[in-house]
Amino acid sequence: MPLKVENLKISTKDGKITPVKNAFLTVEKGERVALVGESGSGKSLTALSILKLLPENLIAEGNITVDDKNVFKLTGEKLRQFRWKDVSMIFQDPSASLNPLIKVGEQVGEAIKFHHPELSKKEITEKVIELFKIADIPEPHKRINAYPHHLSGGLKQRVCIAMALACNPKYVIADEPTTALDVTVQGKILELLKKISERNNVGILLITHDMGVVAEFAKKIYVMYAGYTVEHGTVEEVFSNPLHPYTEGLLKCSPTLSGKPKRKLPSIPGSIPQPNEKISGCPFHPRCPIKKEICEREFPPAKWKNGRFVLCHLR
């Protein structure tokens, strides 16, 4: 059974601010899925809700299931087991994810020790070395004794990947895992995640705002804007024929390395609305180049056709 998010709404306890209004996504085992959108669209909050890691002032409503387990009902020991064995997460900044005072091998070993207390110290060390090999960390026997500041950004991110794989999870959420890395290292990290997904049959949800990364990595794509899922389809379908004007804008804003004539790189006018901002009609209409009068007046209908989804009056 897949990882499934349906009708997700995230709001403050007082109900005054709703950063995620209606989001959905599905990730099958072994599948690579991208969740894209500008900063502030609700991507990271959606991911954190899957692991019940939202800040205390936020409440999530809707339905999140992983292999038929209702995530919202998990508490205590069941929740702790779920977080590493069913779903794990690679956070955006590896430097912030790792404790600077503890050797990286010990940090990865902590997750293994917590879920497998029956293992000896030697067995845990062997498991950490094996994970470092899977994460393509050179000289793993030496690296396990390194502190985070001894490692480059790319190696620190590989340690975080090893940590996420420590308990053989079925799904991994990767929250912009290449943002802090240079382009050459970024490609290697994406290739590593792709290899892990195929070899271990791990479903990966990649959160990003980079459409180039999506094209290289994912098979399916969900586009979020202002807390809503506004488009969904396969990467091939969406890139060749984007339905939502926002998706079209994101693709046009992405630079290409093709041999086509030089063109001015366009941008989407305006900015994404604040979570507490009230907008009548379609949330994208203040920035939309093809809007009609109905877009300013009425919220758009959800349209499904041949497995594709779009939230738009005009498409």
Rounded mean pLDDT, 78-85: 90
Is the pLDDT assigned to residue 104 strictly greater than 90?
yes
Q: What pLDDT was estimated at residue 193?
A: 92
Q: Is the dihedral of CA 97, 102, 108, 114 positive or negative?
A: negative
What domains can you pick out in the chain, each with its CATH number? Answer: 3-96+169-254+265-311 (3.40.50.300)
Q: What pLDDT was estimated at residue 111?
A: 84
Give residue 99's pLDDT band: very low, low, confident or very high (50, 70, 90). Answer: very high
What pTM value is reported for the model? Answer: 0.92
Q: List the structure tokens of 313.
A: 């009056």
Give residue 115's pLDDT band: very low, low, confident or very high (50, 70, 90). Answer: confident
Q: What pLDDT was estimated at residue 256?
A: 63
Is the pLDDT assigned to residue 68 strictly greater than 70?
yes
Q: What pLDDT was estimated at residue 222?
A: 98
Is the pLDDT assigned to residue 182 strictly greater than 90?
no
Calpha distance 55→72 (Å, rounded): 15
Is the pLDDT assigned to residue 147 strictly greater than 60?
yes
Percent of the chain with pLDDT over 70: 97
Give residue 65's Cα distance to chain centre: 16
Q: List the structure tokens of 172.
A: 């991994």
Is the pLDDT assigned to residue 96 strictly greater than 70?
yes
- pLDDT mean across residues, the chain: 91
Calpha distance 267→287 (Å, rounded): 11
Under DSSP, is residue 161 helix (H, G, I), strand (E, B) or coil? helix
Give residue 240's Cα distance to chain centre: 23
Q: What φ, ψ does residue 27 adopt, rounded to 5°?
A: -125, 120
Q: DSSP code of 1? A: -
Instruction: Give the H or E element holding residue 102.
Output: none
- pLDDT greater at residue 253 or residue 208: 208
Percent of the chain with pLDDT over 90: 71
Q: List the structure tokens of 67.
A: 């292999």
Give residue 24's pLDDT band: very low, low, confident or very high (50, 70, 90). Answer: very high
Is the pLDDT assigned to residue 259 strictly greater than 60?
no
Cβ–Cβ < 8 Å for 83, 47:
no
**Secondary structure (DSSP) of 289-303:** TT--HHHHHSPPPEE
Q: What pLDDT was estimated at residue 267?
A: 82
189 - beta bridge partners? none
